[in-house]
Amino acid sequence: MNAAQYGLLARAVVEKQLILLRRYWINTAMMLVASYLFFAMIFFGGRAVGGAGIGDTLDGVVVGFFLLTAATAAYFDVAGNVMREAQWGTLEQLFMSPFGIGRVMAIKSAFNVALSAAVAFTLLAVMLVTTDRTLSVDPLTVVPLLVLTILSAVGLGFVFAGLSLLYKRIENVSQLMQFSFIALIAAPAAVDSPAIVALPLSHGSALLSRAMTDGVRLWEFPVLELGLLVGNGLAYLLVGAVAFSVLVRRARKLGVMGHY
């Protein structure tokens, strides 16, 4: 396979994803609306109960919701893509592709990460207008930190994508991950432990919070902290990809790949 062929593959994947977005745009819109309404309930409810005191933690809440939106979108896009392909009966065709399922899923995942970041930045703008707050949003800092952080969510998405091929209707179990993401993102503020760096999303949440609330630039972070973030994201992504491959082989062996 040469670069031109991979370029054609990337173009085909992006075109397909854009067509699906246009066709099912209401799903993305409703996810944004639901996230904003959840945030609005916390913000307005907290202001009604706590008054001006909520301002002390508001910046952290905004950053947390920003990351939660990106992580949730990335996770559900990866897991949902595989489930939809299986339900549509096109998953087997991806396996017969000369590129293989791995390369196709890699390009889809890259597109999903970019889309998730775009959705998160859209919600961030709305939240800042709602709260009348100002955060440091340096693209050279926030974008790399955000992408590296949500790689762990993509890895978890691959795990649940593989499980969905074996056990089919696991949407309710998958939905529970959203609540887990909330706990993981809030963990750095609640738990003072070095073990936080091993958890998905948590270390990245701490770095994003410092970058957006304190104005710390990417190059001002210690190399060790950035290295831990890179290692964490890549480790979860690799584990997720390996788990997906193992579960796919198991599903093919049992003959349940496309049975829904």
Tens of pLDDT, residue by residue over 120-175, are: 888 888 888 888 888 888 999 999 999 999 999 999 988 888 888 887 666 667 67
Contact assessment for residue 165 and residue 256, using Cβ atoms and an 8 Å cutoff: yes
Name the nearest CA neighbour of 109 among 140, 143, 151. 151
pLDDT in tens, 52-105: 545 557 778 888 888 988 898 888 888 777 777 777 777 777 777 777 777 888
Q: What is the mean pLDDT of residues 212-220?
A: 90
Q: Is residue 138, in this structure, part of any structural domain at all?
A: yes
- Please indicate, yes or no, if residue 125 is contained in any of the structural domains: yes
Structural domain boundaries enclosing 241: 3-254
**Mean pLDDT rounded to a whole number for the chain:** 82
Element (H, E) at 51: none
- The pTM of the full predicted model, rounded to 2 decimals, is 0.87
pLDDT for res 144: 93
Of 253, 244, 255, 254, the C-alpha closest to 100 is 244
Residue 260 lies in a domain: no
In a domain, 11, yes or no: yes
Closest CA to 184 of 228, 224, 149: 149
| Alpha-carbon span 67 to 63, nearest angstrom | 6
Cβ pair 156, 112 in contact under 8 A? no
Please give the structure tokens belonging to residue 258: 């496309």
Asked, for residue 205, whether it belongs to a domain, the answer is: yes
Cβ-proximal residues to 149 (8 Å cutoff; 6+ apart), any chain: 67, 70, 71, 201, 203, 204, 205, 207, 208, 229, 233
Structural domain count, the chain: 1
Query: What pLDDT is stored for residue 122 in this prediction?
Result: 87
Sign of CA dihedral 250, 86, 100, 174: negative
User: Is 69 domain-assigned?
Assistant: yes
pLDDT attached to residue 53:
47
Q: What is the distance between the alpha carbons of residues 77 and 83, in angstroms, rounded to a whole number? A: 10
User: Per the domain annotation, does 21 fall within a domain?
Assistant: yes
Tokens of 250: 């198991």
Rounded Cα gap, residues 7 and 4, in angstroms: 5
Distance between CA atoms of 137 and 121, rounded to whole angstroms? 10
Portion of the chain with pLDDT greater than 70, in percent: 90
- Determine, yes or no, domain membership for 259: no
